[in-house]
Amino acid sequence: MTTLDVAFVRAQFPAFSDPAASRWAHLENAGGSYVPSQVTKVLSDFFVAKTQPYWDFGPSITASNAMDLAKARLPATFNASADETHFGPSTTQNTYVLAHALRAGMTPGSEVIVTNQDHEANIGAWRRLSATGVTVKEWKVDPLTGMLAIEDLAELVTDRTAILAMTHASNIAATRNDVAAAAQLVHDVGGLVVVDGVSHAPHQAVDVNELGCDIYLYSAYKTFGPHVGMMYVNKHVLAEVANQGHYFNNDTLNSRLVPAGPNHAEIAACAGIMAYYDAVHAHHFAQSPADDAALVRDVFGLFAAHEQELMTPLAAFLSSRDGVHLVGSPSAAHADREPTFAFSSERITSREVYEALIEAQVSCGHGHFYAHRLIQALALDPDDGVVRLSMVHYNTAEEVARALTVLDRVL
Ligand SMILES: Cc1ncc(COP(=O)(O)O)c(C=O)c1O
């Protein structure tokens, strides 16, 4: 099988030739990834003669074409259609709007299930519905591992379940949850499943049809793009949902859940993500992909194999070190977990581990990372929380080794 040419990949990202940035082993990718030059080029081109798009004068036509290209190509990142794909301001704001829209279809006594594993982005908006007569139930993690069990969800689902909001993989526990099994349980009683895929989408091609979910969200700034919240909403849901946009846009299905004026330049720049995948594909494969969904599958196959190599030594170290608690699955298999590792130590604080890593120029963070409820469930102090190291396909074995040298010394 073709292996990822990491030198080629890194040559696409300006950060790796920037004297200030390139000193750092960037292992804080779960917070935000670097962007390739294909993305920065679209952004800077867009601002050369920035105008309101969708009129018939030159620069406006250029702007509309740039945005239309993104709208045509990004649906492949969900394996969905264009009218099911939304470009919102962020995942947090997309769930906020969704909660308002879907509330309209609920009655007193309707039930919403949230987890205590998710980033607050996919918890808070749903929980607030309790003020309007909706019953909110919590699917709880195992307090030792931070993992969710599908059997526990089965006990919470009833014929009043309207929504399950869950994460595909938590930004802390990083373990892949069985979305398809959860969707089956909830669909059997007529409910909808909303999936936060923010921590998963940088690592594997997403196929909403295979997952069987109704709504799927991710943030493009973690998938090598600009700060845009990407959202898939199944067209059957869209047809029913209460319009949150301008009344005269009611018939444009993918305007109903995006009330904000869109960020034109950043939407256009999302096409740069696909242009980056084009470049990776052309460099590694003799045959062009059949379509954009195949393009995404092929490049993510390469990314996953490389990420597997990166994560293996880190997973082995963190799961074997005495007094170190790795959150989530101890499995080092990419099929089970994302290459994101959050851990705490019995001997020293997360802050101290973090400072030692920063001293060695390893980009990372510590704390609760907005998964406040998960950190509390694990009986950790949210301010100190966990140390998190997260990799993507452009990282190298040397960068991971730099982190491991520090961890070996301090843990
Ligand atoms: C798992 C997860 N969900 C949701 C979010 C929120 O995304 P956004 O910043 O686009 O609102 C984040 C951001 O870090 C995240 O890691």
d(CA 87, CA 90): 8
Q: Is residue 380 part of a domain?
A: yes
The overall average pLDDT reported for the chain is: 97
Can you tell me which atom of ligand 1 is nearest the CA of 167?
1
Letter for the amino acid at 33? S
What pLDDT shows up at residue 260?
Answer: 75
Span from the CA of 31 to the centroid of ligand 1 (angstroms): 8
Q: Under a CB-based contact definition with an 8 Å cutoff, are residues 98 and 215 in contact?
A: yes
Report whether pLDDT(325) > 70: yes
Q: Is residue 372 part of a domain?
A: yes
Span from the CA of 120 to the centroid of ligand 1 (angstroms): 8
From 92, 123, 222, 392, mutation site for ligand 1 pocket: most ligand atoms within 8 A of C-beta: 92
Encode pLDDT of 210-229 as tens digits: 999 999 999 999 999 999 99
* pLDDT band, very low/low/confident/very high, at 262 (cuts 50, 70, 90): confident
Report whether pLDDT(1) > 70: no
Q: Is residue 234 part of a domain?
A: no
* pLDDT band, very low/low/confident/very high, at 191 (cuts 50, 70, 90): very high
Domain with 354 in it: 6-34+292-410
Span from the CA of 288 to the centroid of ligand 1 (angstroms): 33
Q: What is the mean pLDDT of residues 73-84?
A: 98
* pLDDT band, very low/low/confident/very high, at 261 (cuts 50, 70, 90): confident
Q: Where are the beta strands (DSSP E) in 287-332?
A: 324-326
Q: What is the 3-state secondary structure (H, E, C) of 341-352?
A: EEEEECCCCHHH
Can you tell me which atom of ligand 1 is nearest the CA of 169?
1
Q: Which of 105-109, 186-190, 226-230, 399-403 has the lowest mean pLDDT?
A: 105-109
Can you tell me which atom of ligand 1 is nearest the CA of 94?
11
Q: Is residue 299 part of a domain?
A: yes
Can you tell me which atom of ligand 1 is nearest the CA of 221?
10
Q: What is the mean pLDDT of residues 293-310?
A: 98
* pLDDT band, very low/low/confident/very high, at 405 (cuts 50, 70, 90): very high
Q: Is residue 135 part of a domain?
A: no
Number of domains in the chain: 1
Report whether pLDDT(182) > 80: yes
**pTM tops 0.75:** yes
What pLDDT shows up at residue 155?
Answer: 98
Concatenate the DSSP letters of all residues of 291-350 into one string: SHHHHHHHHHHHHHHHHHHHHHHHHHHHHHSTTEEE-S-----TTTB-SEEEEEESSS-H
Encode pLDDT of 4-63 as tens digits: 999 999 999 999 999 999 999 999 999 999 999 999 999 999 999 999 999 999 999 999
Q: Is residue 243 part of a domain?
A: no
Q: Is residue 23 part of a domain?
A: yes
Closest C-alpha to ligand 1, atom 13:
31
From 116, 117, 370, mutation site for ligand 1 pocket: most ligand atoms within 8 A of C-beta: 370
Q: Is residue 399 part of a domain?
A: yes
What pLDDT shows up at residue 130?
Answer: 95
Closest C-alpha to ligand 1, atom 7:
91
Residues framing ligand 1 (Cβ under 6 A): 90-92, 119, 121, 171, 196, 198-199, 219, 229
CATH number for 381: 3.90.1150.10
Encode pLDDT of 150-172 as tens digits: 999 999 999 999 999 999 999 99
Closest C-alpha to ligand 1, atom 14:
31
